[in-house]
Amino acid sequence: MNPILRATGITRRYGERIGCADIGFDLYPGEVMGIVGESGSGKSTLLNCLAGQLTPDAGSILFDSAQQGVCDLLTLSEMQRRTLARTELAFVHQNPRDGLRMSVSAGGNVGERLMGVGARHYANIREQALSWLERVEIPADRIDDRPSQFSGGMQQRLQIARNLVTGPRLVFMDEPTGGLDVSVQARLLDLLRGLVRQMGLSAIVVTHDLAVVRLLADRILVMKDGQVIEAGLTDQVLDDPHHAYTQLLVASVLQA
């Protein structure tokens, strides 16, 4: 099996400071990879470079596209990149406001992604939007409400529906459960796990929450000062950490 994403030598500097340095990994279809580290460790810089929100200074990101074959996301034309971003890639932001259109109805938010890939039949679009709202547990009678009238947890679920409706193959997630109540977090995690398995998604999840990464990710990268200092199977890295910083991270988690 070929990797769906192969990153090599990803480097991004902010002036003199290092955002992330010389990072490489392979991600295989159906795999969920977590990136952990404290704020400032470079995990969001890396995610944004991978997802095309930030241009790295060096490196290559080979994506095995279903439509275009293996292509380097960093050298694609703007149009090809946008097509991929609408179809095969998706990005779930920490703050749902960054991933939703707040002045458009919930149904419209989901429908817009579908129209972006060429859907035109109104009844079909509405039907698919409804079925996705149901999958993410948003009541059907809220379809015409705007996300601004939703709770934080509902907004996050709507953002997930909007991203997954077009059946992407690789999803980037930045702290998908950050800022939510624990009770809402648990439900969202279960939803994400189910969707990843049903749709055979590959995903890269950035989080500082080790409990989230343990439940969601198959393997993890631990970052500090822009470098990957430890990597491996999630439970192995968390239960038998070798690097001093990873040991500190794991030992610092409060027991509920």
Partner 1 sequence: MTAMLKISGVSKSFTLHNQAGVKIPVMSEAHLSVSAGECIALVGPSGAGKSTLMRMAYGNYLVDAGEIWVGDVCLSSASPRDILMLRRQTLGYVSQFLRVVPRVPTTEVVAEPLLALGVEREVAHERAITLLKALNIPQRLWSLSPMTFSGGEQQRVNIARGFIHTYPVLLLDEPTASLDAENRAVVLSLIEQARARGAAILGIFHDEAAREQVCTGEIDVSQFL
Residue by residue, DSSP assigns 48-113 as HHHTTSS--SEEEEEEEETTTEEEETTTS-HHHHHHHHHHTEEEE-SSHHHHS-TTS-HHHHHHHH
Q: Which among 48-56, 75-83, 124-132, 212-220 is the span making contact with partner 1, rule CB under 8 A?
A: 212-220
CA atoms within 13 A on the CB side of 34: 26
Least Å from the CB of residue 86 to partner 1: 29
* Overall residue count recorded for the chain in this entry: 256
Least Å from the CB of residue 236 to partner 1: 6
From residue 126, give the alpha-carbon distance in Å to each of 46, 149, 151, 160. Answer: 36, 20, 22, 17
Integer Cα distance of 195 and 228 in angstroms:
28
Neighbours of 130 (CB within 10 A): 16
Least Å from the CB of residue 191 to partner 1: 10
Task: Report if residue 225 touches partner 1, rule: CB under 8 A.
Answer: no
Task: Report if residue 247 touches partner 1, rule: CB under 8 A.
Answer: yes
Task: Report if residue 248 touches partner 1, rule: CB under 8 A.
Answer: yes
Integer Cα distance of 91 and 73 in angstroms:
15
For helices 152-164 and 182-199, angle between their N-to-C axes, nearest 10 degrees: 10
Q: Which among 13-21, 41-49, 87-95, 242-250 is the span making contact with partner 1, rule CB under 8 A?
A: 242-250
Residue of the chain from 39, 69, 103, 251 that contacts partner 1 (CB under 8 A): 251
Residue among 134 and 190 whose Cβ is closer to partner 1:
190
Residue among 6 and 113 whose Cβ is closer to partner 1:
6
Residue among 143 and 184 whose Cβ is closer to partner 1:
184
Integer Cα distance of 137 and 117 in angstroms:
24
Task: Report if residue 215 touches partner 1, rule: CB under 8 A.
Answer: yes
Closest CA to 211 of 40, 60, 36, 65: 36
Contact map string, positions 22 to 41, toward partner 1, x by CB under 8 A: ------x--x----------
Q: Which among 39-47, 73-81, 91-99, 226-234 is the span making contact with partner 1, rule CB under 8 A?
A: 226-234
Amino acid at 139: P
Task: Report if residue 218 touches partner 1, rule: CB under 8 A.
Answer: yes
Least Å from the CB of residue 159 to partner 1: 20
Residues 162-201 close enough to bind partner 1 by CB under 8 A:
186-187, 189-190, 193, 197
Residues 48-87 close enough to bind partner 1 by CB under 8 A:
none
Q: What token pair was written down for 77?
A: 């034309």
Integer Cα distance of 113 and 105 in angstroms:
13
List of residues contacting partner 1 (CB under 8 A): 28, 31, 186-187, 189-190, 193, 197, 215, 218-219, 232-236, 239-240, 242-244, 247-248, 251
